[in-house]
Amino acid sequence: MNVKSIANLPLRRLGRTNVMVTPVGIGGAALSHGYTTPSTDEDAVAAVNRAAELGIAYIDTSPGYGESERRIGLAFKNDSKLRKHFFLATKTGTGVRPSNYTADWTYRSVENSLKLLNTDWIDLMQIHDPANLEPALAPDGALTALRDLKKQGVIRAIGLGVRSHEFLLQAIEHGDFDTILTYADFNLVRQTARDTLFPAAEKHDVGIVLGSPILFGLLSNRAEEKLERHRQGEEAEKVRQLSRWARERKVKLMSLALQYCLREPRVSVMIVGTRNVEQVEELVSSVLDPLPENIWEELERELGIR
């Protein structure tokens, strides 16, 4: 597919890290299980390479994402320049049963991630999905280890990725967290993060990483197919309404969904799961897809989405 690069899109500052990142990143979960169809080593390596070719320079993964770290590491092993191209974010706490947020485990987790990813450093290490934040913040918890690793230069920044807004707000106000990763709460269907997390993060200069801007695929170009298999209820009806609305205007739903998120200047980077080259190209095409000039005014006026 002949796809343009996003290289001309303005970079965005990742909060107090002062690192300038591409506004679009690759979400690594799909490089393992692929959500519906599993990815392969070959698919994943090709996807990482194609993302770099198309100007994407942010990649997010986790030990909790199955083969994802190892497969990204394969891509880096095959091309040493590729590692330097990407801002690499991974996580700790998951990928082991039960999840573990102790300092001892965090050291081991980071060491294992470095090996799997074929790298000497990690740009952003995020505490991942704790059910209770206190153990991670305790003197013998994950944050203590991450502070030490940051001083050593093994990791460059510390973040928290979790569903709970309460935990994310606590991290924002804590002082040691450079970024938050929030997901499935700022998109065409849900905007709960906009009035709570975003102002707090902006105030404390914490970078915002936005996950699931297409709401686990429900706002993709295959929305109605996914709805038939998986969802009912108020949100499902809202997706159907959006799908019809976009179709009537000859606009692709995924283009509308992604560009809606990019209009929020407080979001440093949005990450989208891609399991192969085709999905990477679809992502970039959707981000660059020209939309009618008045589309956002119409969206607010007719559907109340701003």
| pTM: predicted TM-score of the whole model, two decimal places | 0.96
pLDDT value, residue 34: 60
Per-residue pLDDT, 222: 76
Q: What is the DSSP letter of 207?
A: E
Instruction: Give 159's strand partners.
Output: 126, 179
pLDDT mean by block of 10 residues, the chain; 306 residues: 92 99 97 79 97 98 96 95 98 96 98 98 99 97 99 99 98 98 97 97 99 94 68 84 95 98 99 97 98 97 96
Length of the chain: 306
Residue 47 confidence (pLDDT): 98
Nearest to 130 by CA among 100, 95, 109, 158: 100
Q: Is 36 exposed, middle or buried (0-12, 13-18, 19+ CB in 10 A)?
A: exposed
Beta strands in 112-178 (DSSP E): 124-128, 158-161
Domains, the chain, ranges and CATH? 12-221+253-303 (3.20.20.100)
pLDDT for res 84? 97
Residues 6+ apart with CB under 8 A from 93: 99, 100, 101, 105, 106, 109, 127, 128, 129, 130, 136, 142
The structure tokens listed for 111 are: 């060491």
Contact (CB, 8 A) for 281 and 3:
yes
| Amino acid 36: pLDDT | 67
